[in-house]
């Protein structure tokens, strides 16, 4: 099978940016160039896509999603989560280990990979747990997790509080060259908190999570990364202080990478007004100053990538009282337009924005993804950058409807998603 994508603006960040055709043969990129033609034997059964006025880019890579399976299939399954990914232009997603059971051993990893293969919507790269049961005490069998297919380790929303255990995990991961991800949160400082500690939490009488709850752990992790030489990746950076520390650490040569989520650069704590549980996530929405700092970090490279922290929940769970409702918002199907808004605003160039969704995340976890180089896996996303649409959660492929962006008028839409040479998603209109 072959696919010829004609006449789009091809952006393969750092390698190529210009009008070109992309030729896919079987599951690989065969060529990128002007006036490409199908091989004669492919004519007749090949798909030709007219991409005039569109962007043709490597499939997006999301280093931070929650697919909920096994254990929480009422929120999302691997099948629905990867369908949402494809609809959002993502061809590779890295799923966090906070399932039930926790992905702290080879058999859970294998189960996830098997479900992902069966669904066939996109590539899934599991993230294994740092400690058994993510309890923060004993190391998980990290070597086994690596061999089974895990691409990084994290205890996700149950961050390793014991600094010695974290040090040992970083050291041990060196043997496998695995990135160690931390959701930076001092659980004592954040205890009971359900939104940013600030003016809005004071007005609403909601217990707050101070920026320092994140920053003290960022500082700790940077010190441990310096001590051990480990590859540290900081999940969902949300505060100006964290951005500043990461920038300084990078300047000093510490091996650290960082991600930011679209909700953290698109919204502030004000979105929580009226006790809106769809604006409740962890880390919480912060202030205008923090949003500016994250944008600046994305621009100057302190923040390497954009990740969604896609965290679906059932409708009834988000209908609870604000403090009882679970943390998290879905993100796979809104990430593209929110990222393109940064281009519109002048924060990022178009090529930088695409890089933060493709080549950069692939580099951070060492995935052979995020490029349209000849011979690369044929994971390609086609985007209509001018298409305006209104976010309607009822139309999500994800089972999760928990988005703070419902009703937003946005610009930029995925029209085609190709995974391994197969067209897995095509927008209807």
Partner 1 sequence: MSLKRKDLVSIASLAPDEISLILETADSFKEVSGREIKKVPALRGKTVVNFFFEPSTRTRTSFELAAKRLSADVINFSPSSSSVVKGETLLDTARNIEAMQADIIVLRHPAAGAAATLAKGVKSSVINAGDGWHEHPSQALLDLYTLREKKLEFKGLRVAIVGDIAHSRVARSNIFALTKLGSEVRVVGPPTMIPTQLDRCGVQVYYDFDEAVRGVDVIMMLRLQLERQGRALFPTIREYARLYGLTAERVKLAAPGVLVMHPGPINRGVEIAPEVADSFSSVILDQVANGVAVRMAILYLLSGANG
Q: Catalytic residue positions?
A: 309
Helix, strand, coil fractions of the chain, as percent rounded to 5: 35, 25, 40
Strands (E), 26-111: 28-33, 47-50, 55-58, 60-65, 90-95
Q: Which stretch binds partner 1 (CB under 8 A): 70-78, 205-213, 378-386, 395-403?
A: 205-213
The nearest distance, CB 396 to partner 1, in angstroms, is 22
The nearest distance, CB 321 to partner 1, in angstroms, is 3
Is the bond preceding 101 in cis, omega lying within 30 degrees of 0?
yes
Tell whether residue 320 is a contact of partner 1 (CB under 8 A). yes
Structure tokens given for 364? 């951070």
Please classify residue 420 by burial: count the beta carbons closer than 10 Å to its beta carbon, then call 0-12 exposed, 13-18 middle and 19+ buried: middle
User: CA–CA distance from 197 to each of 149, 212, 268, 354, 375 (Å)?
Assistant: 39, 10, 12, 33, 50
Tell whether residue 346 is a contact of partner 1 (CB under 8 A). no
Choose which of 8, 126, 136, 198 interacts with partner 1 (CB under 8 A). 198
Tell whether residue 289 is a contact of partner 1 (CB under 8 A). no
Q: Which stretch binds partner 1 (CB under 8 A): 12-20, 204-212, 388-396, 403-411?
A: 204-212
Choose which of 204, 352, 373, 376 interacts with partner 1 (CB under 8 A). 204
The nearest distance, CB 2 to partner 1, in angstroms, is 53
Helices 350-357 and 335-344, axial angle in degrees (round to 10): 150
Tell whether residue 404 is a contact of partner 1 (CB under 8 A). no
Q: Are the beta carbons of 313 and 72 closer than 8 angstroms? A: no
Residue in 67, 63, 151, 75 with CA at minimum distance from that of residue 115: 67
Tell whether residue 107 is a contact of partner 1 (CB under 8 A). no
The nearest distance, CB 199 to partner 1, in angstroms, is 4
Computed on alpha carbons and rounded to an integer, the radius of gyration of the chain in Å comes to 21
Tell whether residue 275 is a contact of partner 1 (CB under 8 A). yes
The nearest distance, CB 309 to partner 1, in angstroms, is 23
Choose which of 197, 309, 333, 384 interacts with partner 1 (CB under 8 A). 197
Q: Which is nearer to partner 1, 250 or 401 (CB)?
A: 401
Quick one: DSSP state of residue 382?
Answer: E
Q: Which is nearer to partner 1, 48 or 315 (CB)?
A: 315
User: Dihedrals φ, ψ of 397, to 5°?
Assistant: -75, -30
Calpha distance 278→313 (Å, rounded): 10
Tell whether residue 324 is a contact of partner 1 (CB under 8 A). yes
Q: Which is nearer to partner 1, 41 or 316 (CB)?
A: 316
Q: Which is nearer to partner 1, 174 or 320 (CB)?
A: 320
Tell whether residue 199 is a contact of partner 1 (CB under 8 A). yes
Q: Which stretch binds partner 1 (CB under 8 A): 145-153, 314-322, 395-403, 415-423?
A: 314-322
Tell whether residue 44 is a contact of partner 1 (CB under 8 A). no
The nearest distance, CB 275 to partner 1, in angstroms, is 3
Quick one: DSSP state of residue 327?
Answer: P
Q: Are the beta carbons of 19 and 362 closer than 8 angstroms? A: no
Tell whether residue 206 is a contact of partner 1 (CB under 8 A). yes
Tell whether residue 207 is a contact of partner 1 (CB under 8 A). yes
Q: Which is nearer to partner 1, 321 or 346 (CB)?
A: 321
Size, binding site for partner 1 by CB under 8 A: 21
Q: Which stretch binds partner 1 (CB under 8 A): 198-206, 227-235, 241-249, 335-343?
A: 198-206
Tell whether residue 201 is a contact of partner 1 (CB under 8 A). yes
Tell whether residue 208 is a contact of partner 1 (CB under 8 A). yes
Calpha distance 79→56 (Å, rounded): 25
State in Å, rounded, how far the first CA of the chain is from the last one.
25
Tell whether residue 189 is a contact of partner 1 (CB under 8 A). no
Q: Sign of dihedral through CA atoms 406, 415, 82, 232?
A: negative
145 CB contacts (<8 Å, ≥6 apart)? 103, 104, 105, 106, 109, 128, 129, 153
Tell whether residue 210 is a contact of partner 1 (CB under 8 A). yes
Calpha distance 117→424 (Å, rounded): 13
User: Dihedrals φ, ψ of 258, to 5°?
Assistant: -145, 150
Choose which of 144, 226, 270, 323 interacts with partner 1 (CB under 8 A). 323
Choose which of 274, 394, 409, 429 interacts with partner 1 (CB under 8 A). 274
Quick one: DSSP state of residue 88?
Answer: T
Instruction: Please name the residue that has the structure tokens 């009282």.
Output: 321
Tell whether residue 163 is a contact of partner 1 (CB under 8 A). no
Question: Which residues contribute to the site for partner 1 (CB under 8 A)?
Answer: 197-199, 201-208, 210, 274-275, 316, 319-324
């Amino acid at each position: 099978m072959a696919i010829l994508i004609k006449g789009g603006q091809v952006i393969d960040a750092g390698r190529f940016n210009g009008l070109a055709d992309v030729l896919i043969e079987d599951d690989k990129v065969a060529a990128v160039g002007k006036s490409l033609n199908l091989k004669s034997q492919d004519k007749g059964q090949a798909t030709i896509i007219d991409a005039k006025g569109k962007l043709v880019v490597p499939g997006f890579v999301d280093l931070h999603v929650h697919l909920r399976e096994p254990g929480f299939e009422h929120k999302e399954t691997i099948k629905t989560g990867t369908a949402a990914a494809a609809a959002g232009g993502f061809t590779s997603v890295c799923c966090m280990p906070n399932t039930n059971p926790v992905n702290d051993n080879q058999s859970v990893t294998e189960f996830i990979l098997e479900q992902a293969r069966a669904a066939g919507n996109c590539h899934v790269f599991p993230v294994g747990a740092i400690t058994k049961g993510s309890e923060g005490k004993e190391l998980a069998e990290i070597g086994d997790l690596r061999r089974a297919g895990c691409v990084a380790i994290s205890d996700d929303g149950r961050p390793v509080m014991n600094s010695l255990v974290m040090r040992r995990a970083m050291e041990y991961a060196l043997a496998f060259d695995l990135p160690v991800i931390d959701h930076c949160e001092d659980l004592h400082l954040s205890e009971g908190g359900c939104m940013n500690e600030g003016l809005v939490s004071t007005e609403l009488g909601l217990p707050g999570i101070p920026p320092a709850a994140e920053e003290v752990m960022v500082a700790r992790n940077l010190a441990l990364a310096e001590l051990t030489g480990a590859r540290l990746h900081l999940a969902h950076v949300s505060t100006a202080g964290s951005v500043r520390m990461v920038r300084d650490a990078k300047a000093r040569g510490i091996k650290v990478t960082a991600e930011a989520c679209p909700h953290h650069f698109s919204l502030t704590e004000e979105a929580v007004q009226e006790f809106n549980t769809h604006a409740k996530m962890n880390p919480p929405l912060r202030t205008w100053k923090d949003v500016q700092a994250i944008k600046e970090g994305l621009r100057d490279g302190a923040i390497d990538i954009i990740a969604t922290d896609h965290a679906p929940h059932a409708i009834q769970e988000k209908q609870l009282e604000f403090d009882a409702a679970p943390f998290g918002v879905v993100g796979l199907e809104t990430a593209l337009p929110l990222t393109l808004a940064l281009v519109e605003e002048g924060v990022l160039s178009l090529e930088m924005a695409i890089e933060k969704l493709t080549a950069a995340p692939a580099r951070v976890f060492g995935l052979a993804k995020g490029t349209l180089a000849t011979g690369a896996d044929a994971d390609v996303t086609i985007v209509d950058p001018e298409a305006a649409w209104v976010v309607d959660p009822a139309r999500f492929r994800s089972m999760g409807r928990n988005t703070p962006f419902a009703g937003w008028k946005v610009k930029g839409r995925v029209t085609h998603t190709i995974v391994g040479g197969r067209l897995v998603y095509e927008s209807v209109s």
